[in-house]
Chain A
Amino acid sequence: FQELAKYEEMEDKVVLTEKELLEDGFGEHPFYHCLVAEVPKEQWSPEEHSIVGFAMYYFTYDPWIGKLLYLEDFYVMAEYRGLGIGSEILKNLSQVAVKCRCSSMHFLVAEWNEPSIRFYKRRGASDLSTEEGWRLFRIDKQYLLKMATEE
């Protein structure tokens, strides 16, 4: 996550701890699932990492069509790109989606991220923000607290 955050230039915003990640993903009620890409020893990174890519996903819900697969994070280390790892991860994700009876897969892409936009469009993705006018909004915790405690 920290490498992907660095790519997105937001490294110091990663405040999640390993402990929370462990509990939230592998506790009694997982809030996310992950796929990882692993390479054999001969191909380990200089820092001796065998895990060179990952995808984080969870299930969301559309009241009209039911379950959806939501792709939250997707990253392959720079030195391991161009080898088909990204495509293989996406293929695995597609199999999960089909197996779990999801109607489609949703995800966000930053408008400046042209390589990713091309990568996804090649595989049939449509840009709902541009085509249908959807905008993502956020209400931060401070405002939630304000509303939660208002008379």
Chain B
Amino acid sequence: MASFSIRAARPEDCPDLLRLIKELAKYEEMEDKVVLTEKGIKAAAARRVGSLLTGSVALYSAFLELLEDGFGEHPFYHCLVAEVPKEQWSPEEHSIVGFAMYYFTYDPWIGKLLYLEDFYVMAEYRGLGIGSEILKNLSQVAVKCRCSSMHFLVAEWNEPSIRFYKRRGASDLSTEEGWRLFRIDKQYLLKMATEE
């Protein structure tokens, strides 16, 4: 019977956080390849831009940013990590086998919300209840911090995740209410910022 514990991440967890963030990106990229839709390919391409950050210099600065942004004076995100005891460490001797990254957002009609940004459990450790336990912890954080609800994005082809969340009461606001996520990239922000 596997045992594990969920706790808040500490600054020294940053190397593990970066490792799991990359694993999640790889997982998403592979999923995109399996579902050969145009959208999946576009999303995978967007992620591949991020995977250019595998050079050692870029990796180091990504690590430093992660450290400062999460554990500096003003944290821009928070993390929960899932840890297993020594007997269950991975072959590479990792004790941290899952994580969730979240932060607080704001809805002007109802107030604070908890936003789930990333959520991942290593393949070898799935099916043990770790995902459910992380979600339970997140729910407790949300309730304690007086959040009205939890928001997150799911890719439309990610059927296992969609089922996982719907089983727990999630509603698809994009389909139900017609919300679309838009992005304005930095080049266009600079253009607008400096326009006369």
Contact = CB atoms under 8 A, between A and B. Distances in A.
Interface of A: 1, 4-5, 10, 13-16, 20-21, 24, 31-32, 56, 58-67, 70, 72-73, 90-91, 94-95, 97-98, 102-112, 120, 123-148, 150
A22 B142 CA distance: 21
Contacts, number: 243
Contact of B111 (A4, A20, A106, A110): A20
B160 to A, nearest CB: 14
Interface of B is mostly: mixed
Interface of A is mostly: mixed
Contact of A10 (B21, B109, B169): B109
B183 A104 contact: yes
B132 to A, nearest CB: 8
Interface of B: 17, 21, 25, 37, 39-40, 42-43, 46-47, 50, 53, 65-66, 69, 76-77, 101, 103-112, 115, 117-118, 135-136, 139-140, 142-143, 147-157, 165, 168-175, 177-193, 195
Contact of B101 (A61, A95, A129): A61
Contact of B174 (A91, A104, A120, A136): A136
B182 A120 contact: yes
B151 A109 contact: no
A143 B169 CA distance: 6
Contacts of A107: 181-182
Nearest to B70: A61
Given A123-B188, A134-B155, A144-B149, A109 B182 contact: yes
- With a 10 A CB-CB cut-off, give which of B117, B148, B189 has the most chain A CB atoms: B189
B104 to A, nearest CB: 6
B109 A16 contact: yes
A121 B49 CA distance: 22
12 contacts: A60-B105, A60-B115, A63-B17, A91-B195, A94-B193, A105-B183, A109-B180, A134-B174, A138-B150, A140-B171, A144-B147, A148-B142
